[in-house]
Amino acid sequence: MKTRLSVLSGVLVALLIGLGGARVDMVFADRSEVSTELPLEDLRIFAEVFGRIKKDYVEGVSDQTLLEGAIRGMLASLDPHSAYLDRDEYRNLKVGTSGEFGGLGIEVGMENGFIKVIAPIDDTPAARAGLQAGDLIVRIDDQPVKGLTLNEAVDRMRGQPGSRISLTVLREGADPMTFDIERDVIQVASVRSRMLEPGYGYVRISHFQARTPEDLTEAIAKLEAEGDARLAGLILDLRNNPGGVLNSAVGVSDAFLTGGLIVYTQGRDEDSRIEFDAGPEELLGGAPMVVLINEGSASASEIVAGALQDHKRAIVMGTKTFGKGSVQTVVPIDEERALKLTTARYFTPSGRSIQAQGIVPDIEVARGELTIASEADADRVTEADLRRHLPNGAPESHEAAEPDPDETSEDPLAIDDYQLNEAFNVLKALVIFGTAKAAG
């Protein structure tokens, strides 16, 4: 005889972002019944362990605590993003997806029992404090995070705007650091833009909200109005973009493509594949593009970078992305509790899985700094220092020419953002090469 148990499944409704918390690329599902068989022998072992704990554990434990712990452990054993959401966690998730809450503005995941920073979000307390992608948070308010679930850690980091929190962080190549941060209301504009030079636009997308495609269109129109002409080239900056709404990522990709597959999701069943295609119109009229990515680019930003790369629409530069290529379905159990279950993977148009692989840039450019030459460089030997070196051959001048400060000063863009400066150089080369080809 076999026992059957109803489990929850449902239909895709929306893919939303959880700002300031765990990476939440997810769909919400309705409850409907799907029958599956459970082995009686395994249930007998579970009941035996349950009874033994109830009888012999050093302190009394309620049935609710044991059963909830069993559910949490079952989901936590699957992958870092599947979880059981109790009353408070489910409420916090819905608050997070609304896009406004008290917190730090940081996307996090789990790594070896510690909280790993996926990306700080632009213009939030976490970004202003100096947290970086790849940082490991080991203590929250002097309490170790080891042993906490991801949801428990996120819950501790959220709080009333104006309240303070202390984070102890490990960063590769540096001593442990402590950040004292004041929480704030997290409301982030997802699109920012500016002109780098006449004809060359720069657009940064910090995360993908429902309005991001419309905001992107407005930003490009504003740049073209500022230059009174179509853009000759564009840099799309997706660095430290932790992801967000799937439809938004599809819309942004569609804005630069004239057709073809953008992304597809594939679950366990063969017939669960869902495809997203681009329309015939694009914003730039084929003008060259460079996309900037780094290890803080995750999920929806990886979808955009992968689509533009596969269609050879843009040169992708920077460093390898985070590799978050899974979809989480939120299945309500009742009005107050839910499951967050990984149900599918993302694939780029060419069939590459983003999960645990990430997007590899066409041109790798590590994060770096441009430093001004110091007095130590005076020890370098040049041709002019060698004995009996040939003279220059130019007419002698009685007065040494004063160097033009404008000619000797370093490029401020290179100093402020080395990766962006390199991307800009490549973009200008693409524009020049394209113009030369057209002329020929």
pLDDT of residue 18 exceeding 60, the answer is no
80-137 pLDDT tens trace: 889 999 988 887 776 655 555 678 988 888 888 889 998 888 889 999 999 998 999 9
Measured between alpha carbons, how far is 18 from 302 in angstroms, rounded to an integer? 17
Q: Looking at the annotation, which residues are catalytic?
A: 299, 310, 324
User: Which of these, 153, 284, 268, lies nearest to 216 by C-alpha position?
Assistant: 284
Q: 85: part of which helix (H) or strand (E)?
A: strand 83-85
Domains, the chain, ranges and CATH? 3-93 (no CATH), 103-185 (2.30.42.10), 191-326+346-364 (3.90.226.10)
User: Which of these, 42, 59, 46, 58, lies nearest to 3 by C-alpha position?
Assistant: 42
Which residues lie closer than 8 Å to 382 by C-beta, 6 or more apart? none
Measured between alpha carbons, how far is 221 from 228 in angstroms, rounded to an integer? 10
374-413 pLDDT tens trace: 544 545 566 666 666 667 666 655 454 454 544 444 567 7
pTM across the whole model: 0.71
Burial class from Cβ neighbours inside 10 Å (0-12, 13-18, 19+) for residue 281 reads: exposed
Q: Tell me if 257 sits within 8 A of 312, measured CB to CB.
A: no
Q: Please give the share of the chain, as a percent, with pLDDT higher than 70.
A: 79
Question: In three state form, how does the secondary structure of 317-351 look?
Answer: EECCCCCCCEEEEEEECCCCCEEEEEEEEEECCCC
315-374 pLDDT tens trace: 999 999 999 999 888 899 998 999 999 999 999 999 999 999 999 999 999 987 655 545
Measured between alpha carbons, how far is 9 from 343 in angstroms, rounded to an integer? 10
